[in-house]
Amino acid sequence: MPFVVPRPPGLPAVTWTSYALTTLAVLPLIWRRRAPVGVLAAVIVIGGIYNVAVDGPGQPLPYAGLIAFYTVALLCTPPVRAAVGLATVVAVALSVGWETGTARELLFTLFVSAAAYALGRLQHTRQAYTAAVEARATELERANRIEAEQAAARERARIAREMHDVLSHAVSLMIVQAEAGPVAVRRAPERAEAAFEAIAETGRDAMAQLRTMLGVLRTDEVPPRSPQPGIAGLAELVDRVRAGGLRVSYERTGAVRELPAALEATVHRVVQEALTNVVRHAGAAAVEVRLEYGPRELTVTVADDGRGPVPSPGGGHGLIGIRERAAAHGGTAQAGPGPGGRGFAVRVVLASSVPSPLEVGK
């Protein structure tokens, strides 16, 4: 304000030299973040020159010096801050002694300088806290993204297993029944109609399950939820395979009990995939499906009397899926030649909960 409002009569007028030195004391603040200590020293030196060489109006507060001191408190290390603080106290004492030499001005100037220093440290703490919060948010976002990607990968793998099991089983049965159709037309026309009806029923069932799975992939609608296949559906599954001409026996032993829905769905898919492999590769005449309920585990065995393991180019996904399903329930899966090296057997052991057993018929 002394440069804007006219000064009282009797005081020297403001000169261009006063304007220049006042402006020069402010310009170093442009570089205060790059060299805070150097800028503070420059501001103090220019202020000292002003007081010594120019008989002009002084500033009510050393604004440029306070901002520079605030920046030192904000950006510099503790040793630098300590050294600069001591030098600032000495400079303030010399300046006050040169001008008025009063204790009041000395205490006021030291108080204002300490306030600037405290604001600088508070700003440093706030910035550090903000940086920590942003880093934590970034890490949390990264963790959420990784978790979402892993969940999507698991879901894709699950859908791939489901589609493989459903389509492979259905198509295999349809092929076997279609190949038997012409023979039935020539030799037993009354059986041909049943074979073609079985093909149609298998196709309709596969289409319904496929439509449900594809509905999960849609984002614009919620697909209807149908019950997961379970152990209760194994009898119907065995009947469909038996309709293709394969002799299939099915039995349950031990303390038969209710199991979690996810575990029952796994049992159903394991049996389905094993029977599909029998139909496609084994060349078997008979197959045995057996569920053994133990105290803490359930053993699923599917054994046939076919020609044993047959390498299949590009195949093997079915057995991989069986092992993945077993591992998901803390179980194991083994596949290889049957007893005595005859045929092929798949044996899966799954951990199961133990509610009160309900003895039921086989």
Answer whether residue 58 shows pLDDT above 50: yes
Cα(199)–Cα(182) distance, integer angstroms: 13
Asked if residues 264 and 228 have their Cβ atoms less than 8 Å apart, the reply is yes
Mean pLDDT in the chain? 79
Angle, helices 261-277/234-243, rounded to nearest 10 degrees: 10
Asked if residue 56 belongs to a domain, the reply is yes
Asked if residue 237 belongs to a domain, the reply is no
Cα(81)–Cα(89) distance, integer angstroms: 12
DSSP 295: S
What's the token pair of residue 197? 């009806």
Structural domain count, the chain: 2
Asked if residue 333 belongs to a domain, the reply is yes
Answer whether residue 316 shows pLDDT above 60: no
Asked if residue 261 belongs to a domain, the reply is yes
Residue 199 Rama label (left phi>0; alpha psi -120 to 50; beta): alpha
Residue 35 has a pLDDT of 92
Answer whether residue 25 shows pLDDT above 90: no
Asked if residue 59 belongs to a domain, the reply is yes
What's the token pair of residue 225? 């939820």
Residue 107, judged by CB atoms within 10 A of its CB (0-12, 13-18, 19+), counts as: exposed
Residue 220 has a pLDDT of 53
User: In this structure, which long-range contacts are made by residues 158-163, counting pairs with CB atoms below 8 Å and at least 24 apart in sequence?
Assistant: 159/213, 159/216, 159/217, 161/269, 161/321, 161/324, 161/325, 162/209, 162/213, 162/269, 163/210, 163/213
What's the token pair of residue 293? 């309920």
Cα(272)–Cα(288) distance, integer angstroms: 13
- Residue range 94-153, pLDDT digits in tens: 877 777 778 888 888 889 999 999 999 999 999 999 999 999 999 999 998 898 888 888
Asked if residue 174 belongs to a domain, the reply is no
Instruction: Please indicate whether residue 303 or residue 317 has the higher confidence score (pLDDT).
Output: 303
Asked if residues 112 and 69 have their Cβ atoms less than 8 Å apart, the reply is no
Cα(103)–Cα(124) distance, integer angstroms: 31
Task: Tell me which of 99, 134, 169 is where a domain ends.
Answer: 134
Cα(10)–Cα(157) distance, integer angstroms: 92
Asked if residues 306 and 284 have their Cβ atoms less than 8 Å apart, the reply is yes
- Polymer length of the chain: 362
- Residue range 76-92, pLDDT digits in tens: 999 999 999 898 888 88
Residue 269 CB coordination number (10 Å): 21
Q: Model's pTM, two decimal places?
A: 0.48
Q: What is the mean pLDDT of residues 4-28?
A: 78
Task: Tell me which of 134, 154, 173 is where a domain ends.
Answer: 134
- Residue range 329-357, pLDDT digits in tens: 888 888 888 777 778 888 899 887 544 44
Asked if residue 298 belongs to a domain, the reply is yes
Task: Indicate the helix (H) or strand (E) that contains 251.
Answer: strand 247-254
- Residue range 175-202, pLDDT digits in tens: 766 766 666 666 666 666 666 776 777 7
Task: Tell me which of 89, 106, 134 is where a domain ends.
Answer: 134
Asked if residue 236 belongs to a domain, the reply is no
What range does the domain containing 348 cover? 247-362
CATH number at residue 330: 3.30.565.10
